[in-house]
Amino acid sequence: MSSTYLSLYYHIIFPTKDREPSIHPDWRSRLHDYLGGTVNRLGGQSLVVGGTNDHVHLLVQLNATHCVADFMRELKKASSSWIRAEISCRTFAWQKGYAALTVSASIVPTVRRYIENQQEHHRKMSFREEVLTLLRRSGVEVDERFFD
């Protein structure tokens, strides 16, 4: 094959520090817009951003040169700095970890709808239950004793 072909979609999830409900509805959509713009500035493509008061979900497409760990470090650093400066939430921080799950192109529309409906979804399921379910469905083994 003389060319390189990629389909690198990721469903990314990360919570606020200690899962504190610190993402206020008054500025949540601005944060989602900022996260999407940052993904694009980092060379990815933001397809959708959603979430609740204690976590965010992103559906992004990355390229072959992205290192997921570096991408996540820059995304979280830029967004926490933005929140501190623009929203004046001086103590805001993200949790250290994150989930980055690969997504088949055939289910991108399903994942998009899932992310768009986070508010409704979390009326029925906690963040912990949600992430554990998604991790297990993706084949990730999780020791719940260390899941925070």
Per-residue pLDDT, averaged over 69-88, amounts to 97
Q: How many CB atoms lie within 10 A of CB 33?
A: 12
- Which of 70-74, 92-96, 98-102, 128-132 is the least confident region? 128-132
Q: How confident is the model at residue 9 (pLDDT cuts 50, 70, 90)?
A: very high
Alpha-carbon distance of 91 to 27, in angstroms, equals: 16
Alpha-carbon distance of 61 to 63, in angstroms, equals: 7
pLDDT score for 3: 86
- CB 46 within 8 Å of CB 39: yes
pLDDT score for 148: 66
**Can you give the pTM of this predicted structure?**
0.93
Candidates 3.50.50.60, 3.30.70.1290, 3.40.50.970, 3.30.2310.20; CATH matching 9-138: 3.30.70.1290
